[in-house]
Amino acid sequence: MAQGPLIPGIREFDRPRRGWPRWLTGVVVGGLVLVVLVVIAGFVGGVGPLRALGQSSLPLDTVAYRTTTSANVIEVAVNLPSSGLCRDDDLVVVAFERSNRVEVEGSVTRSRSATCQSVTMGGDLQWVPVELDRALGTRTVVTAEDRKPLSNESEA
């Protein structure tokens, strides 16, 4: 009985190869490395599609509001953080409109890894414009956290 191939050079007794092709393994490993790099860049550098991972948000107290010449825009005063603001900080006030009230909340967003010299803004209040979907009218402006009404500084 023959122990090798019937025709030399042909491996007819070899079993078929099993598993994934090598190129598919390379594509999967490359994709995983890319995902890990994007997550690291988002967390450490605050860049890319996951930049929110690299940012921290600090809530701010809303103090008052005032109307402007535009019916759909109000300005909301927020207390600045005791540490001050950096030049790259994003100061944001968001309004949630309900039928009879407008709820507002403020926050400052900054990069986790950034170190900066704090800039004093000439006071402890900052007025931030907020655009509403419809005119304020007779609706009450309240804080989003505890629903306390804000004073209208444009009437004073």
Neighbouring residues of 123: CB distance < 8 A, sequence distance ≥ 6: 80
Question: For the whole model, what pTM was predicted?
Answer: 0.61
Vertex 140: Cα angle to 136 and 143 (nearest 5): 110
SS3 11: coil
Using alpha carbons, select from 97, 104, 14, 25 the residue that is nearest to residue 60: 104
What does the pLDDT read at residue 111? 73
Tokens in use for 102? 């407008």
Residue 116 CA to residue 88 CA, distance in Å, equals: 9
Q: In the predicted model, is pLDDT for residue 99 greater than 90? A: no
What does the pLDDT read at residue 32? 95
What does the pLDDT read at residue 31? 95
pLDDT top residue among 53 and 29: 29
Q: What integer is the mean pLDDT of 75-91?
A: 81
What does the pLDDT read at residue 2? 57
Highest mean pLDDT range out of 18-32, 49-63, 113-127? 18-32
149 and 140 in contact (C-beta within 8 Å)?
Answer: yes
**100-155 pLDDT tens trace:** 889 999 988 877 666 666 665 555 888 889 999 888 888 889 988 888 888 888 76
